């Protein structure tokens, strides 16, 4: 038996001022169930990834909100792991299926972040960081700016290399009909945009977004001709940057990736396509290093060489990534699974790669305290 | 192999104005690990049950906050299911162990509710209800008052019977050194206390509390002489009362209980002791009916007859329950596991029952949209 991605459903990502959390959840849920060609009553359990519905919308208890919608009495869990909530929900769902407990489960990632005061959202997001960092007045872009400064100093990573991540991801987002930003940007525009937290500028940052993504995962016979999850691995590290052993890598990513490669019995060179957690451009550069797509310190140059572009050696963030597709935090990890599934199914439209067979997703919580890595294969 | 409760750790419950969420989490965590006689590095995964740390304290991402404390890089999940968060975290931990994935896992339930404005806490708690209920201005005591009115009308449940739940639970709480309220109360005092939402008065309501409870669950050989979890079952129902089939029962409780009895291959009459979710007195009356300790509609009379008192046929809430022991919402489900474990271990001090062999815990989210039932045996 194996665990397959039997159905995918996703809403537009963006500033969806006329859509509620419930609207978005409903659209993605029904689309995934329809795509899986099953009936709602065939769902055995529900796993919801969400970070901010309680803080911002006053709505906790999202699990039974979804079973209620589907008129089910099955188990329903809501998983909160900051920006990795979707990846962690997928991991728990995968583990339940692989243990033989269920036949079909729904994983929903959803987040409603616009229509709230910016300060409230910024503070809400800082819930992913440590208390000391929050009380010191740090913001998430501030935390990643610290990481970027260390990387630039140690490995000579350049302003241009950071911006080349944004240019690539906007180029991919322009080919993705659900992306928040479907406009291409020039390297000059990216490099010269407004500074947010030095060295990071506006185009180094993923946006505030609304959106939902859902998948039906199913236990199928080994002969099933569907996209299969061949590895699901998660790891953690210290929440506070000050307690980490190194600031040039995310240890949680490295551990999760090593375990995932081992589970799938492959190495990084076997990966044909990847969705990685580019909440900031520096995060993508560190991710492709920590995932072993290139050597530590080479991420900037690797990106600039177009190795991670659509026609490159290992295309990264074909969806547009968090940067251009958008980052409704709880939905992101599930969106990554959907993008890789569509690539492996050959259904990625204008951004379709030539015959990819193995894909990877990489979802990070906070500044790297949580990482979830999945490997998918067809 | 079986899943045992290898270690228990719990803080005082109450208005702990000089303790932070982190303090409480740390105390319970280390106490559970010590009791299990293992080292922190032997923990393979962490499951945290919490509802309000994000809403009230600005702290999300609690999973890696705990692995960070323990200097671990293992998987860490934060589960939010309103007041059933602790029970749902226990369920996921149990499932992971029974699947063979891990050897030892830590389950932590924690909540910090005092030191915040009452209105903020009330609104936060209403995150467990439906959007319509919240927008209609309902509070949790209001929701349970609706249920109480239906029960009183249909089954002739009396004011005195409601109060007899409170009197019993205060009597038990007076024997529990960690309980928030260790004072006995008279039936007159309970019956005549201030009305909160008719027919519920002050002594029908569980309090706002701080506290943490942690257990180490371990996979052990069948020969291990430890308290064993023999059933773990969860179910859901519509979040909004208006969508439920019946208002005199919690369907989620009934389904979870039926499945748990089936898993454990026992029936309700085999239960020697139970911790049930008495967020309001009416909730305990409905729970003992839905769990089949007595017939539907008989819960009030059953309680008044002292059948659920310490010397009764089936003692319920020997800890003092949510009413007297306190209700730090995320911690409650784990506290219930600890109370039953202590009873089965014969370590429940002044409230120890004579040689109980099988115990049950029942944890509810919101007004009954989630229910988690565990059966423990020695």
Distance CA B293, CA A238 (A): 46
Tell if the CB–CB gap between A127 and B75 is shorter than 8 Å: no
Q: With CA atoms as reference, report the closest residue to A360 among A235, A269, A274, A231.
A: A274
pLDDT for res A328: 98
Distance CA B183, CA B170 (A): 6
List, in sequence order, the alpha helices (H) in A50-139. 53-57, 62-70, 85-98, 118-125, 131-135
Structure tokens of B359?
């115990």
Interchain CB contact of A198 with B (< 8 Å)? no
> Does residue A58 sit at the B interface (CB-CB below 8 Å)?
yes
- A149 burial (CB, 10 Å; 0-12 / 13-18 / 19+) is middle
Dmax (CA) of chain A: 56
> pLDDT tens, position by position, for chain A (378 residues)?
999 999 999 999 999 999 999 999 999 999 999 999 999 999 999 999 999 999 999 999 999 999 999 999 999 999 999 999 999 999 999 999 999 999 999 999 999 999 999 889 999 999 999 999 999 999 999 999 999 999 999 999 999 999 999 999 999 999 999 999 999 999 999 999 999 999 999 999 999 999 999 999 999 999 999 999 999 999 999 999 999 999 999 999 999 999 999 999 999 999 999 999 999 999 999 999 999 999 999 999 999 999 999 999 999 999 999 999 999 999 999 999 999 999 999 999 999 999 999 999 999 999 999 999 999 999
Q: Which of A73, A78, A95 sits opposite B101 (nearest CB)?
A: A95
**CB contact B67 to A (< 8 Å):** yes
Interchain pair B238, A64: CB under 8 A: yes
Q: What is the pLDDT of residue A118?
A: 87
* Cβ-based burial of B39 (10 A; exposed 0-12, middle 13-18, buried ≥19): exposed
For B40-55, how does the pLDDT look when each residue is reduced to its tens digit (9 = 90+)?
Answer: 999 999 999 999 999 9
Count interface pairs A-B at CB distance under 8 A.
191
Residue B61 has its nearest CB partner, among A74, A127, A243, at A127
Cβ-Cβ contacts under 8 Å, B51 against chain A? 54, 60
Q: List CB contacts of B185: < 8 A, sequence separation 6 or more.
A: B166, B167, B170, B203
Decide: helix, strand or coil at residue B237: coil
A368 C-beta neighbours (distance < 10 Å), count: 29
Of B73, B99, B370, Cβ closest to residue A236? B73
Residue of B49, B31, B36 lying closest to B104 (CA atoms): B36
Whether B238 is a known active-site residue: answer no
Facing residue for B79 by CB, picked from A78, A123, A234: A78
- Helix, strand and coil in chain B, % to nearest 5: 45, 20, 35
Q: CB distance B95–A91 less than 8 Å? A: no
User: Which tokens in the block code for residue B25?
Assistant: 């989490």
Which of B206, B235, B228, B191 has the alpha carbon at shortest distance from B359? B228
**Interval B296-325: pLDDT, tens:** 999 999 999 999 999 999 999 999 999 999
pTM for this model (two decimals): 0.98
Query: Which residues of chain B make contact with A95, given a CB cutoff of 8 A?
Result: 96, 99, 101
Q: Which residue has the tokens 């009597």?
A: B171
Q: What CA–CA distance (Å, rounded) separates B214 from B108?
A: 4
CB-count exposure of residue B265 (10 Å: 0-12, 13-18, 19+): exposed
> Contact, B305 vs B318, CB < 8 A?
no
d(CA A170, CA A164): 10
Residue with tokens 């319509």: B132
B128 touches A: beta carbon within 8 Å: yes
- Contact between B328 and B212 (Cβ < 8 Å): yes
Give residue-wise pLDDT tens across range B71-130: 999 999 999 999 999 999 999 999 999 999 999 999 999 999 999 998 899 999 999 999
Residue A61 annotated as catalytic? no
Question: Is there a contact between A64 and B91 if contact means CB atoms under 8 Å apart?
Answer: no
Identify from B61, B67, B74 which residue to disrupt to test chain A contact, counting A C-beta atoms within 10 A and taking the largest count.
B61
- The residue annotated as part of the active site, out of B151, B170, B277, B327, is B327
All residues of chain A having their beta carbon less than 8 Å from the beta carbon of residue B64 are 81, 236-239, 252, 365-366, 369-370
> pLDDT at position B291, please?
98
Chain B residues with beta carbon closer than 8 angstroms to that of A96 = 95
Task: Select from A91, A124, A370 the Cβ nearest to the Cβ of B64.
Answer: A370
**Residues of A with Cβ-Cβ distance to B246 under 8 angstroms:** none
Pair B191, B159: CB distance under 8 Å: yes
Chain A: closest CA distance from residue B89 (Å): 9
Cα separation, A35 vs A19, in Å, equals: 22
Parallel, antiparallel or unpaired: strands A211-220 and A2-10 = antiparallel
CA distance B65 to B343: 31
Alpha carbon separation from B168 to A105, B174, B278, B300, B323 (Å, rounded): 42, 10, 12, 12, 10
Query: Do residues B42 and B102 lie in contact, with contact meaning Cβ atoms separated by under 8 Å?
Result: no
Closest CA of chain B from A44, distance in Å:
11
State how far residue B101 is from chain A, nearest Cα, in angstroms: 9
Nearest to A212 by CA among A376, A58, A368, A23: A23
Residues of B in contact with A79 (CB under 8 A): 77-80
């Amino acid at each position: 038996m194996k665990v397959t991605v039997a159905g995918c459903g996703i809403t537009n990502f963006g500033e969806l001022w006329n859509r509620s959390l419930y609207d978005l959840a409903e659209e993605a849920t029904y689309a995934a169930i329809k795509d899986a060609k099953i009936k709602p009553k065939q769902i055995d359990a529900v796993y919801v990834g969400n970070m901010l519905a309680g803080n911002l919308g006053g709505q906790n208890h999202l699990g039974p909100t979804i079973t209620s919608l589907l008129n089910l009495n099955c188990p329903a869990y809501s998983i909160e792991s900051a920006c990795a909530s979707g990846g962690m929900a997928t991991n728990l769902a995968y583990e339940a299926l692989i243990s033989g407990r269920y036949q079909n489960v729904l994983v929903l990632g959803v987040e409603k972040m616009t229509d709230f005061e910016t300060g409230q959202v910024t503070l809400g997001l800082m819930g992913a960081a440590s208390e000391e960092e929050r009380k010191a007045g740090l913001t998430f872009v501030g935390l990643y700016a610290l990481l970027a400064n260390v990387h630039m100093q140690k490995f000579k990573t350049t302003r241009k290399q950071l911006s080349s991540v944004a240019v690539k991801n906007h180029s991919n987002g322009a080919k993705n009909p659900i992306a928040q930003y479907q406009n291409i940007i020039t390297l000059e525009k990216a490099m010269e945009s407004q500074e947010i937290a030095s060295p990071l500028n506006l185009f180094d940052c993923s946006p505030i977004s609304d959106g939902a993504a859902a998948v039906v995962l199913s236990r199928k016979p080994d002969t099933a001709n569907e996209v299969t999850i061949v590895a699901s691995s998660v790891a953690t590290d210290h929440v506070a940057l000050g307690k980490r052993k190194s600031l040039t890598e995310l240890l949680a990513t490295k551990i999760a990736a090593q375990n995932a490669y081992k589970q799938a019995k492959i190495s990084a060179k076997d990966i044909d396509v990847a969705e990685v957690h580019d909440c900031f451009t520096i995060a993508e550069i560190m991710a492709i290093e920590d995932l072993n797509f290139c050597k530590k310190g080479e991420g900037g140059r690797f990106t600039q060489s177009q190795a991670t572009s659509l026609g490159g050696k290992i295309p990264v963030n074909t969806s547009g990534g968090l940067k251009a597709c958008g980052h409704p935090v709880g939905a992101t990890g599930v969106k990554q699974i959907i993008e890789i599934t569509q690539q492996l199914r050959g259904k990625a439209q204008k951004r379709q790669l030539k015959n990819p067979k193995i894909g990877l997703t990489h979802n990070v919580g906070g500044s790297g305290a949580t990482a979830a890595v999945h490997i998918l294969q067809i």
